[in-house]
């Protein structure tokens, strides 16, 4: 009820309410879009686009979700549009030029970043939203327009794939063991 009244106030021209809402929500939307895109400048641009789109659509807000969830959904759609446009512009040959940075100084940060980038979008988005943004599962389901069980499954799969990608390689001469197999010793 409060969110619907706030949206109506802003839509009717209450600049102070609009500024308070934007100041409250901007950091979270920016963090989400920066985490998803992997680039600060893109995150800032997408955040501005999301707020412009949301501001123009506030009169249409019906309160079916919280105003925050509604705004996050708009921001996520801005991201997916950007991603679709970006993928159309990137040649496949660019992927082969990504260096192996496992031995760099910030190994953990670089390796985790690369592993996250290697996840398919459908796994990366729920993972980033849940672990980096602290979004509740139901909100991620609303954001991605996926059933709650699907979001849970994607988080499970994302964790498993990241664990696999970030596992240290077996030492020379050792063979990799499945996690269920005890080492003989």
Task: Say if 141 falls within a structural domain.
Answer: yes
Q: How many CB atoms lie within 10 A of CB 102?
A: 12
pLDDT at 132: 79
Does 54 share its domain with 113? Answer: no
Q: What is the pLDDT of residue 42?
A: 92
182 found inside a domain: no
Residue 38 is predicted with a pLDDT of: 83
Tokens of 53: 């789109």
Q: What is the pLDDT of residue 156?
A: 92
CATH code at position 111: 1.10.10.10
Identify the pLDDT of residue 137. Answer: 92
The pLDDT value recorded for residue 108 is 47
pLDDT at position 174 is 60
pTM > 0.85: yes or no: no
Mean pLDDT per 10-residue run, the chain (185 residues)? 84 90 93 87 94 90 86 90 70 43 43 79 89 87 91 93 82 57 44
74 shares its domain with 115: no
Quick one: 72 and 113 in the same domain?
no
The phi and psi torsions of 173 (rounded to 5 degrees) equal 90, -15
Q: Does residue 161 share a domain with residue 85?
A: no
| pLDDT score, position 131 | 84
CATH of residue 25's domain is 1.10.1740.10
Q: Is 46 within 8 Å of 31 (Cβ atoms)?
A: no
């Amino acid at each position: 009820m409060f969110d619907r009244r706030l949206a109506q106030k802003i839509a009717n021209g209450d600049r102070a309410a609009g500024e308070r809402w934007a100041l409250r929500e901007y950091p979270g939307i920016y963090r989400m879009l920066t985490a998803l895109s992997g680039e600060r400048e893109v995150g800032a641009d997408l955040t501005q686009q999301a707020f412009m789109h949301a501001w123009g659509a506030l009169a249409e807000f019906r309160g079916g979700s919280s105003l925050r969830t509604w705004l996050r959904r708009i921001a996520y759609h801005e991201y997916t549009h950007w991603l679709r446009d970006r993928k159309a512009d990137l040649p496949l040959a660019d992927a082969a030029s990504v260096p192996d940075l496992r031995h760099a100084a910030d190994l953990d940060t670089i390796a985790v970043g690369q592993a996250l980038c290697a996840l398919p979008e459908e796994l990366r988005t729920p993972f980033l939203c849940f672990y980096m943004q602290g979004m509740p599962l139901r909100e991620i389901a609303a954001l991605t327009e996926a059933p709650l069980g699907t979001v849970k499954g994607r988080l499970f799969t994302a964790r498993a794939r990241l664990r696999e990608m970030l596992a240290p390689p077996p030492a020379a001469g050792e063979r990799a063991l499945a996690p269920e197999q005890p080492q003989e010793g």
